Amino acid sequence: MNLWGIDLGGTKIECAVLDDQQNLKVIIRERVPTEADQGYEHIINQIKKLVDIVSEKLGEKPSKIGFATPGVLDPDTQTMKNCNTVCMNGKPMKTDLVTALGCKVELANDANCFALAEALMGAVQQVNPDAQVVFGVIMGTGVGGGLVVNGKAIYGKHGIGGEWGHNIIEENGESCYCGKSGCVEKVIAGPALEKFYLKLTGNPLKLKEILERHLAGTDTAASETIERMLEYYGRGISTLINVMDPDVIVIGGGVGNIDLLYTEGYERIKKYIFNNRIVQTPIVKPLLGDSAGVSEQRCCNNC
């Protein structure tokens, strides 16, 4: 049976269909823009358009689709919450997708899907296949997190399990869409670091260029920005280890690609951890691409 998964991002919606009989080989991958600024109904229409495109190319209709979404379906109200694509909040998205697509739908938080996919099929299998506790971090335009224990994503009582990105890490920090200020996301996500550099210099550079300037040693504001990233990364990750002490941490997202996080960043974790400055947790980059929604589909099929 083919497995259908959709990753619903803030800028693009991607659908992948995998062949369950051929080691989860990707048969087709298509994407459309989210165009979130046009509102919630438009996003539902974009998803329908994408499913129609894939159905036509593949010559089959899905019986079930697993979605990786920002935020989560509130377990009490069955409406979306905590989405950084804020027009989705308060909407009964699962019901609306079932109506629009005419098939079964499973929704799961995208960072939880990421953590689950890497734990079951990705980087964790390479470094520690026996890992019981895995934490997945996405550091990109936002900061998300997912906790997997014994092969299952932990959603928790409110559906917010793993939502590390909205812990407050900086007193009097920047205000966040979540209503608080100084969240991890407002300090070490890409846009937050770029904004910090912009405030220092008046120069709107991308993080990639800020990093290059730091590495070249030519720009003290760039070095200050990268220093800020490393320091708060060390503080943030050390709290994760203190609370959960995971067997493996996987760091995804555009910011998570920065090699310094695995060298100097690792040293900063040692500075803050409650373990005599010794850290043995493998912290690794992800192995899989954008198929996280499909992993949720696989999980749902198994449940």
In the complex, which residues of this chain contact Zn ion (CB under 5 A)? Answer: 166, 176, 178, 183
Residue 142 C-beta: closest distance to Zn ion, Å: 9
Which C-beta is closer to Zn ion: that of 108 or that of 176? 176
| Spatial CA neighbour of 2 closest among 302, 303, 298 | 298
- H-state helical runs in 59-155: 93-101, 110-121, 123-127
Which C-beta is closer to Zn ion: that of 133 or that of 168? 168
Phi, psi of 84 (to 5 degrees): -75, -15
| Spatial CA neighbour of 93 closest among 51, 41, 34, 55 | 41
Residue 165 C-beta: closest distance to Zn ion, Å: 7
The upper half-sphere exposure of residue 63, i.e. CA atoms within 13 Å in the direction of its Cβ, equals 5
Which C-beta is closer to Zn ion: that of 211 or that of 237? 237
Residue 180 C-beta: closest distance to Zn ion, Å: 5
The two tokens of residue 279 are 């850290």
The two tokens of residue 122 are 């990705």
Rg of the chain in Å (alpha carbons): 19
Residue 34 and residue 13: Cα distance in Å, rounded?
Answer: 6
Contact in structure between 281 and 241 (CB atoms under 8 Å):
yes
Q: What is the DSSP string of 229-281?
A: HHHHHHHHHHHHHHHH--SEEEEESTGGG-GGGGTHHHHHHHHH-TTTT----
Residue 191 and residue 284: Cα distance in Å, rounded?
Answer: 23
Residue 48 and residue 40: Cα distance in Å, rounded?
Answer: 13
Residue 135 C-beta: closest distance to Zn ion, Å: 19
Residue 90 and residue 126: Cα distance in Å, rounded?
Answer: 39
Which C-beta is closer to Zn ion: that of 58 or that of 178? 178
Residue 168 C-beta: closest distance to Zn ion, Å: 8
